[in-house]
Structure 1
Amino acid sequence: MGHKTWLILAFFTCLISSSCGRELQVKHKDNLTVYNHTLATILVEYASAVYISDLTELFTWTCARCDGLTKGFEVIELIVDIQNCLQAFVGVAKDLNAIVIAFRGTQEHSIQNWVEDLFWKQLDLNYPGMPDAMVHHGFYTAYHNTTIQPGILYAVKKAKEFYGDLDIIVTGHSMGGAMASFCALDLTVNHEAKNVQVMTFGQPRIGNAAFASYYGNLVPNTIRVTKDHDIVPHLPPYYSYFPQKTYHHFPREVWLYNLGLGSLVYIVEKACDGSGEDPTCSRSVTGNSIFDHLNYYGVDLKCEQWRSCRIVMDPGVAKYGKTDLKGNFILSRDPAKHVLKMNTRSNEGEVTSNA
């Protein structure tokens, strides 16, 4: 073996040994967000409802998933990006005295391919205004470079004009959780929104340690709920040998896991530390379950049918909508007016997407 080869091997050995066991610590404010179980069981229903493909039922809040802890919610805008199979809604929850924003996650028919892709994703985008912060290009683009962002911002402005300066709660599952995080950061940094709260379910990593530190300080009222062996919170992979270059979760995680005592099984809700990568939480187990990913708190987080990106809409809601040249559309209502309930759904459309 030549002298040059030995030097290269020595260099990488030193690099690995100097990094091993020295994970970067995410800087965060001392007061960590307090986990609220009741709020979690409410928000997971919003994260579930946004998967509904019947836009008439979703816009009028009459779907089967719209009748539990979220009853009485008023949708202000429903945004559908046809090109990328993205969906989100903004509305007002009077019982929470807050504006709720929910983002749909990855369609379950494509989760397998999406998970495989995430194993190889690299950090590839410098986050504006945050030195050394890098994020996942696809997640960033899904919020910032589609019809989703302008629709969300307009709806929030409209809701505040009518209802006053309400708090904002942002939620989502899977990729929807990633979009929810970017949305909360956008509202806080670029639009000076106050009292923005985030709770996501089964969210993947979206940036490096520098980004996680910025995020934790700017949007401290954030909870990432993970569950058992859910595979997605383990993606993209975390490599402790390269702490500056690897993906890193931001705080604060709450890990749901089953604890068996004889024939009894208890669900434990563990509030993790402020590192974002608590080794005693979801990182303590292997992430190998898609089944765990699709149900939180007993609530299904997936579409009702295992199909491609599919939407159903009654012709009667057309007067509430506007469509751009690419087919993306927004259903929008004046908060002061009620939407007429639709009894028929005769117009059905299907859209196939790679999302």
Structure 2
Amino acid sequence: MRMGTSKWLFVAICSCLLVFSGGRELKARHIDHLPIYNHTLATILVEYASAVYMSDLTELFTWTCSKCDDLTKGFEIIELVVDIQHCLQGFVGVAKDLNAIVIAFRGTQESSIQNWIEDLFWKQLDLNYPDMPDAMVHLGFYHAYHNTTIRPSILNAVKRAKKFYGDINIMVTGHSMGGAMAAFCGLDLVVNHKAHNVQVMTFGQPRIGNAVFASYYGELVPNTIRVTNDHDIVPHLPPYYRYFPQKTYHHFAREVWLYNIGLGSLVYRVEKVCDLSGEDPSCSNSVTGNSISDHLTYYGVEMGGETAGTCRIVMDPGLVNYGITDLGGNFILSRDPASPLLKLNTQLENDRNPL
């Protein structure tokens, strides 16, 4: 009874604060170049955002995992980085069918997603983004990308991939907190590494900065899509308070909101392309964000690890030959872009079954 009461109290508080966030607001500036939503691309990238949750690193590195098929078949990972200390994971590889480098970040792997959501609800803006006057962001999300083993490994892999494949497009994706990291990565590639062909698509991403930051972001990384799903609670967090424009979180554009209309057997899925404000009142902001289950499925693809709430990993001993481990136990698995995956799989199989 106590757990049920606590759950309903939490939802009630969320609903009330969202309702009272109406009033004056500081709007993000409009974007000159309109991001174009592509349904087919979204259904491909969501599979990468799902696959990065895999705990079997051998299957992930060789792209033979249960989530490494269907629309992403033939993908070649160049680098897989695991930050054990902060429970973070990401990979860089090349999708030849997209003619693009794909970067994916794993989402929330907390001991309790409910606790993570409750912490987000009370989070204040607490970091000035470098060289962007008045732009403020979420310290935790910023540090998850910028101050862990993730960033240098990702950038090194992108550099190696471009050296081998040329100046092809870069697509960055992630779900939940992985979406927040993907956004910071896309901005980093443009601002600090002068990449001019960066596309970001995230799923169930929380807000990461204020309206000033959202404006800068929209101008610098215009080819960005945030996909939200029905009543998913995470895109509503940290909260957006119109009464406190300088200190409130604000989404950047463009949102695509997935929701159902109809009743019974006549239910249709709608993919609504929202306006460029970042906080379109006719999209996900038109409903109460109160669903964790809507957060865990996008386009029918399950998001999250096989074992909920853990940072457990599994790795074949033969994979050590492709890895580097630091003093903190964090490690990077790398392969030469020119090395065929077939050769890698054969070598690992031989390591498992020596003569």
Length-normalised TM-score, structure 2: 0.90
Task: Please give the per-residue CA displacement for 1:258-312, whole angstroms capped at 9, x wherever unaligned.
Answer: 1015631111000000000000000000000000000000000011122521000
Give, as a single letter, the amino acid of the residue that structure 2 aligns with 1:143: Y
SS at match of 2:199: strand
Q: Does 1:167 align with 2:169?
A: yes
Q: Report the CA distance shift for 1:345/1:87 in structure 2 as closer, same or farther (over 3 A).
A: farther
The counterpart of 1:237, out of the listed 239, 242, 261, is 239
Give, as a single letter, the amino acid of the residue that structure 1 aligns with 2:208: I
Give, as a single letter, the amino acid of the residue that structure 2 aligns with 1:167: N
After TM superposition, give the deviation of residue 242 of structure 1 in Å: 0.7
Q: Report the CA distance shift for 1:140/1:314 in structure 2 as closer, same or farther (over 3 A).
A: same
Q: CA RMSD in A?
A: 1.5
1:24-43 equivalence runs, <5 A: 24-43=26-45
Stretches of structure 1 that go unaligned for 5 or more consecutive residues are 1-18, 347-355
After TM superposition, give the deviation of residue 20 of structure 1 in Å: 6.2
After TM superposition, give the deviation of residue 22 of structure 1 in Å: 2.8
Give, as a single letter, the amino acid of the residue that structure 2 aligns with 1:146: T
Q: Is the 8 A contact 1:312 1:345 kept in 2?
A: no
After TM superposition, give the deviation of residue 43 of structure 1 in Å: 0.1
Q: Report the CA distance shift for 1:282/1:76 in structure 2 as closer, same or farther (over 3 A).
A: same
The counterpart of 1:136, out of the listed 138, 141, 156, is 138
Task: Give the corresponding residue for 1:305.
Answer: 307
Distance 2:111 2:73 in 1: 29
After TM superposition, give the deviation of residue 338 of structure 1 in Å: 2.5
Task: Give the corresponding residue for 2:150.
Answer: 148
4+ residue runs over 4 A deviation: 343-346
Distance 1:294 1:261 in 2: 23
Q: Is the 8 A contact 1:26 1:212 kept in 2?
A: yes
Task: Give the corresponding residue for 1:349.
Answer: none
1:134-283 equivalence runs, <5 A: 134-261=136-263, 263-283=265-285
Q: Is the 8 A contact 2:135 2:213 kept in 1?
A: yes
Task: Please give the per-residue CA displacement for 1:34-73, whole angstroms capped at 9, x wherever unaligned.
Answer: 1100000000000000000000000000001101100000
The counterpart of 2:321, out of the listed 319, 340, 347, is 319
SS at match of 2:112: helix
SS at match of 1:217: helix
Q: Does 1:127 align with 2:129?
A: yes
> Which structure has the larger Rg over C-alpha atoms?
1
Distance 1:306 1:107 in 2: 7
After TM superposition, give the deviation of residue 31 of structure 1 in Å: 3.3
Task: Please give the per-residue CA displacement for 1:186-214, whole angstroms capped at 9, x wherever unaligned.
Answer: 00000001110000000000000000000
The counterpart of 2:70, out of the listed 51, 68, 71, is 68
Q: Is the 8 A contact 1:313 1:345 kept in 2?
A: no
Q: Is the 8 A contact 2:47 2:67 kept in 1?
A: yes
Q: Is the 8 A contact 1:202 1:232 kept in 2?
A: yes
Distance 1:85 1:115 in 2: 17
SS at match of 2:70: coil
SS at match of 2:157: helix
Q: Report the CA distance shift for 1:32/1:345 in structure 2 as closer, same or farther (over 3 A).
A: farther
Q: Is the 8 A contact 2:262 2:268 kept in 1?
A: yes
Distance 2:133 2:110 in 1: 35
SS at match of 1:69: helix
Give, as a single letter, the amino acid of the residue that structure 2 aligns with 1:56: T
> Number of matched residues?
328
Give, as a single letter, the amino acid of the residue that structure 1 aligns with 2:266: L
Task: Give the corresponding residue for 1:5.
Answer: none
SS at match of 2:277: coil
Task: Give the corresponding residue for 2:108.
Answer: 106
Q: Report the CA distance shift for 1:108/1:326 in structure 2 as closer, same or farther (over 3 A).
A: closer
Stretches of structure 2 that go unaligned for 5 or more consecutive residues are 1-20
Give, as a single letter, the amino acid of the residue that structure 1 aligns with 2:165: Y
Give, as a single letter, the amino acid of the residue that structure 2 aligns with 1:319: N
Distance 2:251 2:350 in 1: 45
Q: Report the CA distance shift for 1:282/1:343 in structure 2 as closer, same or farther (over 3 A).
A: same
Length-normalised TM-score, structure 1: 0.90
Task: Give the corresponding residue for 1:294.
Answer: 296
SS at match of 1:212: helix
Task: Give the corresponding residue for 1:93.
Answer: 95
